[in-house]
Amino acid sequence: MALVLGGARSGKSSYALELARRSPPPRLYLATAEAGDAEMAARIAQHRRERGEDWDTWEVPLDLAEAVTQAQGRYQVILVDCLTLWLSNRLIRGGDIAGRKNACLDLVAALERTATPTILVSNEVG
């Protein structure tokens, strides 16, 4: 497993793609972003163009642990972009603290179980 950290728009997603391309297809991109405005829609479109045709893309704004579990054994590499947006989605959608904590623990457990090389992207915050 690899964790790619960086500031907003620092090139961390592009770097993570470079790392993931070292693995042969099939490759899976787990997208946590949602196109809430025109700027985000443009960024999502740019990321799709950068990936090209040899990637499967699953949009998973909330159920990231389940997606990692379902991908197990089906792909040569999994790229999660990004944890920051996933956590933000979890906070925005409400729910109680215990539910948010369990979602995080479920993701950690799913990542521990998978034998598929996984690259996680996250923003540096603070």
- The letter for the amino acid at 79 is L
Asked if 27 and 79 count as a contact pair (C-beta separation under 8 A), the reply is yes
The question of whether 47 is a catalytic residue gets the answer: yes
Q: Please give the C-alpha separations between residue 112 and each of 1, 41, 65, 72, in angstroms, as whole numbers.
A: 9, 32, 11, 11
Catalytic residue among 21, 47, 48, 100: 47
- Catalytic residue ranges: 47
